[in-house]
Amino acid sequence: MFNVLLMFSLLLPTVLLRHTVTAAELQGVMDQGFLNLSWDAPDAKLEEAPTLAGPWQTVIATGSPYRLRPSASITNRCRFYRLKMPAPGKKWLTVAAVTMTSQTNTEANLQTLFSFMERASSNHVDLIVFPEVALQGCPAWGPSSYIPTAQEMAYVRQTAETIPGQSTSNLVAKAKELNVFVVFGMTEQDTAGLLYNANVFLGPEGVIGKHRKTFLVENDSRIWRSGSGYAVLDSPLGKIGLMICAELWSNGNLPGPVLARQGADLLLTSSAWWNRDASSWDAVTVANAVQSKRWHVVSQQVGAVGHAQCYGHSQIVDPLGRIVCDTGAKEGLVMWPTDIMIDASR
């Protein structure tokens, strides 16, 4: 599958591999102690390994060229590089995670979702994930001791929607226009009038499924009912496992491996993790990826949601536990081509 081209340097002996099936060529040039790698295939992913036997890891770069910084840790050590291409008729699933501050205004939040969807679509993203309660926000949310006011709960009830409902229909129409799939958080009202903290998975053809938050923390139970269990959703992008915020570490029980055992190819989380618990954020996002051996896309609120301050730092984590991108503590969007292959004609 690969031809081996050997290039030596006093700084860094390196093996370059050329993919012969598609004739995508990986080229390397030394420049003032830096190794500059370039290639001519837009769908190629650059991988690195300490030996030809691996383990191979995708380099943290999304396209040509890639400039390798020298350091004492890699000097006089051999590294191997190769291009990885999708199978014929396939492409890499490209995902995006959004950090946003939801308002207590559903229409304004919808416009924010639309704007991020347009930006993602223009960058060839297939799937975009939004935070917990992204659609309506939640003014009643706060610490366990906080009792929501009548006015706050009136807003929650008045803006709660069914799934499917008006807002999901609007988002499906936008998803069809842009040919993207979307996950977002909202307050759901069922036919009996009960409220749930839910995230929804939808695409150009409609609502695919939903997940109701099962692990309620702080004053969640004053606002929403608890859902029951986890389920994997079938979709044109593969089998998807949905999670919400505190479920990432439900008293030490990770849902990621549970969803992986049920067949999930990809984990998606809508969250509003608090600043107070910021020190554990990376640990729980990474643990769910590593222990499930799956990509994990996590979208976060930032700033005030009700009476809580949220941490931001939406992330995309690979199956080895590397945080390949992070928005930081600000509103924004991060994107990454995963190693999951989907139909190129989608």
String of DSSP letters for 194-244: -EEEEEEEEETTEEEEEEE--S--TTGGGT-B------EEEETTEEEEEEE
pLDDT above 80: residue 63: no
At 164 the pLDDT is 98
On the question of pLDDT at 60 being above 80, the answer is no
Q: pLDDT band for 151, please (50, 70, 90 cuts).
A: very high
- pLDDT level of residue 61 (50, 70, 90 thresholds): low
Q: Which two tokens stand for residue 314?
A: 């939406």
- pLDDT reported for residue 8: 36
- Name the average pLDDT for the chain: 90
Domain end among 63, 84, 105: 84
Q: Give the pLDDT mean for 292-308.
A: 98
* Domain shared by 94 and 55, yes or no: no
Domain that holds residue 17: 2-84
Q: What is the mean pLDDT of residues 99-120?
A: 98
| Same structural domain, 240 and 144 | yes
| pLDDT at 318 > cutoff 50 | yes
Contacts of 323 (CB under 8 A, 6+ apart): 282, 285, 286, 315, 316, 317
At which of 47, 66, 84 does a domain end?
A: 84
Query: Alpha-carbon distance 306 to 142, whole Å?
Result: 6
> 336 has which bridge partners?
95
Instruction: Report the predicted TM-score, pTM, of the whole model to 2 decimal places.
Output: 0.89
Span 220-244, average pLDDT = 97
Query: Is residue 231 a contact partner of residue 268, using CB atoms and an 8 Å limit?
Result: no
Residue 34 shares a structural domain with residue 102: no
48 closest CA partner among 7, 17, 85: 17
- Is the pLDDT assigned to residue 276 strictly greater than 80? yes
CB 93 within 8 A of CB 147: no
